[in-house]
Amino acid sequence: MSTPTSGTFTPRPGGAPLHRQVLAQARMEARLMLRNGEQLLLAVVIPVIVLVGAVAGSERIGLELDGRPVDVFTPGVLALAVMSTAFTSLAIATGFERRYGVIKRLGSSPLPRTGLLAGKVLALLLVELLQLVVVGGVALLLGWSPEAAPAALGGALATAALGTAAFAALGLFVAGVLRAEATLAAANLVYLLLMAGGAVVLPATAYGGFGEVVRWLPSGALGGGMRSALIDGQVALLPLAVLAGWAALGTVLTARTFKWE
């Protein structure tokens, strides 16, 4: 048998290191999400339209707010962007991946289930970063003046992170128990209901007595936490606790009910 010469490569079968697998999965998930017209509409276009429409409409109808419209609505729209990506987009994409057997095939690859979930979460964070740039840029053009103290930024990041965890867990729960078409309908319906009546864009105080109820919803906690951070410069502990509770509940439900095919 001849010995290997210069330029000869010895095969090394096996999977790539886990971090490389997760990064590759995250890049693919993010590209697919942004290439899909419906997902792009949910992630970027609708939040921008809501922001511009809310600022312009509040000035015309004389809506009473505790501050300038752009300062009040921008934190809520950023929360809406997190909800649209972490819940609606993730639920719909995962539902159709189950239908077409994508997740089942990924399960036969060297990528473990934890790596698949980590890749999806990392992709969500990448898309949310894009949303922050776009929505924040539009808000700055409209005259937004956010609170930029370290406590405010830390509170906003903590709220967004827990909000992402809570809505992602709930989105995977919905996608894991319903068929793809039912997931599409349910995710969009819940998104519209929470956007209109979940205290995510408007403060809970705008809902009168019902505000005491909606602040316990993940949407109300996410919107309230973002407003406390970016308007008042405070870290609101109650919204963080509510989001952590929803994240834990969604994780338990997903772990018990999620079906990979």
In the block, which residue shows the tokens 């924040």? Answer: 136
Q: Which residue, among 118, 90, 108, 78, has the nearest Cα to 222 in the 3D structure?
A: 78
Q: Global pTM?
A: 0.85
| pLDDT at residue 111, as a whole number | 67
| pLDDT at residue 22, as a whole number | 77
| pLDDT at residue 236, as a whole number | 87
Q: 74 near 235, Cβ under 8 Å?
A: no
Report the alpha-carbon distance of residue 126 to residue 144 in Å, rounded: 23
And the tokens for 101?
Answer: 């057997």
| pLDDT at residue 238, as a whole number | 93
pLDDT tens for each residue of 153-200: 899 999 999 999 999 999 989 988 888 889 989 999 999 999 888 889
Q: Which residue, among 224, 182, 251, 245, has the nearest Cα to 75 in the 3D structure?
A: 224
Q: Which residue, among 27, 187, 190, has the nearest Cα to 93 in the 3D structure?
A: 187
Q: What is the DSSP letter of 207?
A: G
| pLDDT at residue 9, as a whole number | 63
Residue 193: CB partners within 8 Å, gap ≥ 6? none
Domain ranges of the chain: 18-257
| pLDDT at residue 219, as a whole number | 92
| pLDDT at residue 218, as a whole number | 94
- Alpha-carbon distances of 173 from 46, 103, 215, 253, 259, rounded to whole Å: 24, 15, 22, 6, 10
Q: DSSP readout, 97-122?
A: HHHTTHHHHHHTSS--HHHHHHHHHH
Q: Which residue, among 256, 257, 255, has the nearest Cα to 117 in the 3D structure?
A: 255
The secondary structure of the chain in percent helix, strand, coil, rounded to multiples of 5, reads 75, 0, 25
Residue 117: CB partners within 8 Å, gap ≥ 6? none
Q: 104 near 261, Cβ under 8 Å?
A: yes
In the block, which residue shows the tokens 């987009």? Answer: 89
pLDDT tens for each residue of 12-25: 666 667 677 778 77
Low-confidence ranges of the chain (pLDDT < 50): none
Q: Which residue, among 225, 211, 221, has the nearest Cα to 249 in the 3D structure?
A: 221
